[in-house]
Amino acid sequence: MPLLRDANPWGETMALHIDGAWFKDELGRVRHLRGVNLGGTSKIPMTPNGATHLKAHFFDHRHVSFVGRPFPLEEADVHFRRLKAWGLSFLRFLVTWEAVEHDGPGQYDQAYLEYVRAVLKKADDYGFTTFIDPHQDVWSRFTGGDGAPGWTLEAVGFDMHNFQATAAAIVHQTQGDPFPRMVWPSNYNKLAAATMFTLFFGGDDFAPETHIDGVPVQAYLQGHFTRAMQQVAEVTKDIPSVIGFGTINEPSRGYIGAKHIAELPHRLKIGECPTPYQSILLGAGFAQDVEVWNITIAGARKQGEKRIDPAGKTAWREGAACVWKQNGLWETDRDGQPHIMMPNHFANQRGRPVHFMDDYLLPFAHRYADAIQSIRPDAMIFFEGDALEESGTLTRVSHDPVTISNMVFAPHWYDGLTLFTKRYQPYFAFHNRTLRPVIGREAVRQSFREQIGTIKGEADIFGKMPVVIGEIGIPYDMNHKSAYQTGDYAAQIQAMEATIGALEANLVNFTLWNYTADNSHVRGDQWNGEDLSIYSLDDRHHPTDLNSGGRALEAVVRPYAAAIPGEPLRMQFDSESGLFELAFRHDASITAPAVLFVPSYQYPDGCEVTVSDGTFDLDQDKQRLIYHPSDKDIPHWLRIAPSVPRRTASTTDRRWQVALFGVGVAAGLWLLGRKRR
């Protein structure tokens, strides 16, 4: 369908390859990729509707269908046209293990695989570049997230019906409304998800006594996951715009590395926070007093303790033993009282401390990459580390080179304070890793830039490779959803501007989280109360207008250079002034021009283009600018500004805002101090 390819705002679709830290096309140009995760509801079944606030049919996990996620095939054209009009031509396409293999081990949903192929063929027609994301959050829908089929939990002996009573997981469908804000990540530290991740990545070392159908549990789980993703690779192998596969979204170490099972991990603390040993005992039916934590604007705070009594229920089905008792971690005495037998079991193996990245995650990634590349030899492998890295910094202890071919580093980043409190404070933030407060508008934005820069630099521990920030975004239901009543998205625009500005400052590729075709103001992305979609049905006031339904487009839809004939040096856009700047070092061996996306959304009255040298051609109908630099050995630059200058906040206004914010912070800290006294 060549007409659709011609509709690509920045021209032809070309095969990409990796050259050091850059993606490059067939003409040698650096390609800057920016796009979106598609989509939010791909985590849940289409039939029956798997929205997490709906309990009906929840445990009937084998009889589901994901055909129609992220949207029905007949709606694909309008969604793809919209995304292209917004300049988002790079897709992180969500596929869950459950969607492929929900019926049972080795039973693949052919209708879903054919649907995925049809959607990605349509995306190819529109000139999108795509990589497949094998998505999961906290293991599965039945442990409070999404990803793995329900039968994986049953295979190791779990009874999912008792997770609520035993605090093995907090699940929206069984907890009901109101569901605590952003509590779902706490499941990473709870029994069900932590056990499954430990078995998946380290079952050979930590649960050698556990087998499924005669197969060691680690090989069983990894084998089924990998073969399920191979089915997706098989049906998409002839679609050239599908350039690769992620390893696994936000992998977790589970209990691997826990120094003592009776100590609370120094990871994300929110809601009920049992230690690993308390989780294990709760799962076995023993009542426990557990700590309760909350995340506030002042950081994580312990709220007290809570008695949890399973009241005779266990997390294990009748006739199945606790995996960790089976493997000798704990035992009961003659009186039936539990005792720890191996408190440091997860900390050391083979006479040395374990390291999750080197000992478990990378070996899995190697096996997975080999399996995918046996079908698609040219497939890029998008790798990401532990979602809750203990030290806050991605590390390796091995000096062995990483030999995964065509590897891309694809970590995630969110402004933690905004994400968890659903409030954006332009003059106040916490550094995600040091947890130190950051005060001042420019200081906050500089902190964001530095944090993204640190993450980008971590790619060097694997070798020189491109970086894609696979997830980054903001909650739209800020401030108790006030924007949905007022129509004022100023806070969301500021938050997104600071976020994308940090990405641009580091010249990294990215896919925003997320685009949900059926987002609503009432239920957001239909999953655990999250609402991060850049599009909502409830913001769609003009069905024929592609921009209708978009949120914070002032910050999302922005000019950028999609193809650069040389090394990028600087690229940034200020949505307040409308000023865009690009600088690059020209590679004289490349004769192809630079290609830029210039959105009419930002320049409805036209724009003025200034270049350092050479010539350019602006096609406003196609939202495309072609720039031919001269052969001069100088840094080339280009600027775009609105034909009609915009009014921006004055320096005096900003000083008043800073002063008022400072007074507010001081008052808040004074009140907090009084409360503590």
What are the contacts of 547-553 at 24+ separation with CB within 8 A? 547/82, 547/85, 547/86, 547/601, 549/82, 550/82, 550/86, 551/476, 551/489, 551/492, 552/474, 552/476, 552/489, 552/492, 552/493, 552/495, 552/496, 553/86, 553/601
With the CA atoms of 343, 346, 347 and 352 taken in that order, what torsion angle do they form, in degrees rounded to the nearest 10?
120
| Residue 471 a catalytic site member | yes
The secondary structure element, H or E, covering residue 293 is strand 288-296
Rounded Cα gap, residues 194 and 200, in angstroms: 10
| Residue 497 a catalytic site member | no
Residue type, 26: E
Torsion angles phi and psi, residue 418, rounded to 5: -65, -40
Residue with tokens 């596969």: 245
Catalytic-role residue among 98, 101, 250, 497: 250
With the CA atoms of 190, 195, 196 and 201 taken in that order, what torsion angle do they form, in degrees rounded to the nearest 10?
120
Q: Are 201 and 251 in contact (CB under 8 A)?
A: yes
Rounded Cα gap, residues 555 and 77, in angstroms: 24
Strands 352-353, 380-383: pairing kind: unpaired
Number of DSSP helices (H) and strands (E) in the chain, helices first? 18, 30
Give Cα separations from 384 to 131, 361, 431, 457 (angstroms): 14, 10, 21, 14
Q: DSSP assignment of 459-517, as one string?
A: GGGT-S--BEE-B----SSHHHHHHHHH---HHHHHHHHHHHHHHHHTT-EEEEEEE-T
Which of 625-642 are b and which e, b meaning 16 or more Cβ less than 10 Å from the residue's Cβ?
bbbebeeeeeebbbebbb
SS3 content of the chain, % helix, strand, coil (to 5): 30, 25, 45
Peptide bond into 668 cis (omega under 30): no
Q: Are 261 and 249 in contact (CB under 8 A)?
A: no
- Number of Cβ within 10 Å of residue 560's Cβ equals 19
Rounded Cα gap, residues 63 and 150, in angstroms: 11
The secondary structure element, H or E, covering residue 175 is helix 172-175
User: What is the chain's Cα-based Rg?
Assistant: 25
Q: Are 171 and 142 in contact (CB under 8 A)?
A: yes
| Closest C-alpha among 356, 407, 406, 414 to residue 385 | 356
Give Cα separations from 309 to 187, 242, 289, 313 (angstroms): 18, 49, 9, 9
Name every residue whose Cβ is closer than 8 Å to that of residue 10 and which is 6 or more positions away in sequence.
Answer: 89, 562, 563, 595, 596, 597, 624
Q: Are 99 and 231 in contact (CB under 8 A)?
A: no
Catalytic-role residue among 101, 272, 384, 471: 471
The distance between the two most distant Cα atoms of the chain, rounded to a whole number of Å, is: 87
User: What letter does residue 348 receive in the DSSP assignment?
Assistant: E
Catalytic annotation, residues: 250, 471
